Structure 1
């Protein structure tokens, strides 16, 4: 008896271990499959971002005209205090586009999170030194990130067509975000620094910036930090403001009929001829009259029936 119980207990233990092992195997398989699918999705998204390089231009003579050019902000100085070549080349690219008549206005968008750090002001001063008129430069002081700059260009400055000005690796990511904003954006590629190895950290950081961009667009639906009231640049249309004014009539007003006019003006004693009855109205009226006559005839027959059915008194019985 004891051996049988021990064997049964051993079988139950073995069955539990087998089921637990199957559960772990299934969980491992599903986790591996999920990670693999996520990695494939990220790779496809990275290829998608890179595909926007086909919407960028290196030659100023080939790029189409857009009324507004958008410079994406960066610091004017590097960490060691020297001139930032990314900044310098973006200013030169924007100046070239303006002088060639490819843009009429320049929107400078950058970080001004602290009073001591003002990217838009730095870009504005640099453009003024290049001879760009002050009234052709618009500053966006809330472009804390590329997503902020693109989203605000669409939702605050109401731009549908825009030329983004930055280095090519940056433009492709910006155009990817612009597609989410339903913008018709193109990019003009400023020159890269002559020594890429000296700025390798920027290109390495761009890899992580693209991964974050994929999460922001596809998973987190990240919104800009600040928006605000619409601002017009050039001929860009502002959204219509709600109005309490009545809308214009879309159809001709109805004409008042003679009978309605007579009802509202009884003192005029107008003689309005009665409307002619339609065939359907005549038939319906005749039907009601016939039904009324039938009901009267049935009622007369019912009143006459008791008199005809009255029995005569019985004769007296014989003795």
Structure 2
């Protein structure tokens, strides 16, 4: 094997090791739920089928929020979504599900422009500020929780707690890999933003 080939092999192995380490760190962080009394539980949207039925992963996210609300550990639940490929407004379906589970409608904040995690965090921060809320708990799938938390914090929200949905599926492997890439982009951008703010 030539020197160039050996160097390339080591580089690929190192890259793979870094990727696996990052995936393990995201998984550990996402599954390490942190209980806290907060103003709002933020739940990002996911697939809602054309007949209005929630996907299992989205229902699992909302069930976490319901449990937290019933325990008296939050004042409100903020649902964030948009009209997906199925043609259904996720935020409306999420709100309706919460109401059916006994969460009062006036305790649900609805963001219908949560097209992605960045938009969800930005919109949640603005809605919370308007209502005098400061603290939030990030509730989503384990692989998504760390990025949601970071983005909420970047938009000025204090996030003392997190909770992951108790639902797992094969596609989580793909989703986790996507989160590794997303975090690799987010963290340097966040550090750069902080450096600029300090000047």
Answer whether TM exceeds 0.5 for this pair.
yes
- Could you report, residue by residue, the CA deviation over 1:11-44 in whole angstroms, capped at 9, with x for unpaired residues? xxxxxxxxxxxxxx66555544544443343333
CA distance in 1, matches of 2:51, 2:87: 17
1:123 aligns to what SS in structure 2?
helix
- The answer as to whether partners of 1:178 and 1:185 remain within 8 angstroms in 2 is no
Q: Per-residue deviation at 1:121?
A: 1.1
Counterpart Cα distance in 1 of 2:164 and 2:51: 25
RMSD: 3.5
Structure 2 match to 1:50: 27
Match of 1:12 in 2: none
- The runs of 5 or more residues in structure 1 that have no matched partner are 1-24, 58-62, 223-319
Matched residue, 1:166:
140
Whether the aligned pair in 1 keeps the contact of 2:138 and 2:159 (CA below 8 Å) is: no
Q: CA deviation at 1:125?
A: 1.4
Q: CA deviation at 1:68?
A: 0.5
Which of 178, 183, 186 is equivalent to 1:209? Answer: 178
Aligned with residue 56 of structure 2, among 42, 60, 85: 85
Q: Which has the higher contact order (CA 8 A, sep 6+)?
A: 2
Bigger fraction of residues in strand: 2
Please tell me whether the aligned partners of residues 153 and 159 of structure 2 are also in contact (alpha carbons under 8 angstroms).
Answer: yes
SS of residue matched to 1:112 = coil
Deviation at 1:81, TM superposition (A): 8.4
Question: Quick check: 2:30–2:146 contact (8 Å CA) kept in 1?
Answer: yes
For 2:69, the equivalent position in structure 1 comes to 98
Q: Distance in 2 between matches of 1:128 and 1:208?
A: 34
1:184 corresponding residue in structure 2: 159
Q: CA deviation at 1:112?
A: 2.8
Please tell me whether Structure 1 or Structure 2 has the larger radius of gyration of its CA atoms.
1
Give the direction of change, closer, same or farther, for the CA distance of 1:145–1:212 in structure 2 (3 Å limit): farther
- When residues 41 and 135 of structure 1 are mapped into structure 2, their CA distance, relative to the original with a 3 A threshold, is same
CA shift, 1:103, in A, is 0.5
Partners of 2:53 and 2:126 in 1: how far apart? Answer: 35
Counterpart Cα distance in 2 of 1:30 and 1:87: 44
Mapping of residues 1-319 of structure 1, within 5 Å: 28=5, 31-53=8-30, 55-56=32-33, 63-77=35-49, 84-112=55-83, 116-154=87-125, 157-158=128-129, 161-175=135-149, 177-178=151-152, 183-192=158-167, 199-200=169-170, 202-218=171-187, 221=189
Over 6 Å off, 4+ runs: 79-82
Distance 1:109 1:83, change over 3 A: closer
Question: Whole-Å Cα distance in 2 between the matches of residues 156 and 140 of structure 1?
Answer: 8
Q: Note closer, same or farther for the CA distance 1:42–1:154 as it changes in structure 2 (3 Å cut).
A: farther
